[in-house]
């Protein structure tokens, strides 16, 4: 007798949980940072900084996770807004911050997460046709050796937006660096 009373109750609770879960999914989707999946890669937190008037270059930052069992490489990209998109590395050389293009691309080892952030690896948008404005979403196509071409958009933050990631290039933990390196 008791079972007959409990069963429908449990069913309706389960149904309510399912509904809430589904609703949460729909509600959460638009506000959540864009997550782009391409093969074994998961790309999140694609952002850029607004470019001050006249600047012809901009930076692109993102986090790439390789959930597969083989390495992949970010070899370059393209964007409507830029003449050229390159993968760059920023490093300290004799006390001077320098950057250089990674001609062989940036390897993302299996099971690893690589963060492109100010002060470390980054995408360089060269020959900008128009300035990047805060609030814009800039469409960029990334090119990976295995995952191929991946379309996503960079959320443009303010000119002096602090780095959301630490300045080390080995995918260090999230850390605010106020007054961090500006490009």
The nearest distance, CB 124 to Cu ion, in angstroms, is 4
- Looking from the CA of 177 toward its CB, the CA atoms found within 13 Å total 15
Tokens linked to 108: 């993302």
Closest CB to Cu ion among residues 118, 164:
118
Helix (H, G, I), strand (E, B) or coil at 39: coil
Q: Pattern of binders to Cu ion over 29-68, x per CB under 5 A?
A: ----------------------------------------
Strands 137-144 and 72-79, sheet pairing? antiparallel
Segment 124 to 143, residues that bind Cu ion, using CB under 5 A: 124
Distance from the first to the final alpha carbon of the chain: 72
- C-alpha–C-alpha distance, residues 99 and 93, integer Å: 9
Q: Pattern of binders to Cu ion over 78-117, x per CB under 5 A?
A: ----------x----------x------------------
The nearest distance, CB 49 to Cu ion, in angstroms, is 12
Residue nearest Cu ion, Cβ-based:
88
- C-alpha–C-alpha distance, residues 121 and 27, integer Å: 33
In terms of Cβ atoms closer than 10 Å to its own Cβ (0-12, 13-18, 19+), residue 118 is buried
Closest CB to Cu ion among residues 62, 124:
124
**Contact region with Cu ion (CB under 5 A), list: 33-41, 120-128, 139-147, 161-169:** 120-128
The nearest distance, CB 143 to Cu ion, in angstroms, is 17
Closest CB to Cu ion among residues 99, 138:
99
In terms of Cβ atoms closer than 10 Å to its own Cβ (0-12, 13-18, 19+), residue 86 is buried
Closest CB to Cu ion among residues 64, 85:
85
Contacting residues toward Cu ion, per CB under 5 A: 88, 99, 124
């Amino acid at each position: 007798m008791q079972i007959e009373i409990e069963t429908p109750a449990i069913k309706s609770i389960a149904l309510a949980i399912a509904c809430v879960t589904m609703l949460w999914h729909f509600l959460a989707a638009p506000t959540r940072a864009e997550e782009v999946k391409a093969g074994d890669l998961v790309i999140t937190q694609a952002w850029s900084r607004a470019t001050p008037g006249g600047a012809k270059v901009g930076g692109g930052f993102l986090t790439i996770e390789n959930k597969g069992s083989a390495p992949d490489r970010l070899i370059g990209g393209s964007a409507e807004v830029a003449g050229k998109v390159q993968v760059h590395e920023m490093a300290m050389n004799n006390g001077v911050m320098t950057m250089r293009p990674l001609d062989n691309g940036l390897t993302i080892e299996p099971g690893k997460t690589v963060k492109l952030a100010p002060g470390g690896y980054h995408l360089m948008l060269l020959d900008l046709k128009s300035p990047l404005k805060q609030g814009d979403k800039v469409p960029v196509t990334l090119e990976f050796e295995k995952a191929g071409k991946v379309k996503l958009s960079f959320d443009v933050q303010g000119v002096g937006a602090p780095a959301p990631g630490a300045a080390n290039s080995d995918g260090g933990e999230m850390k605010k660096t106020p007054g961090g390196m500006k490009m």
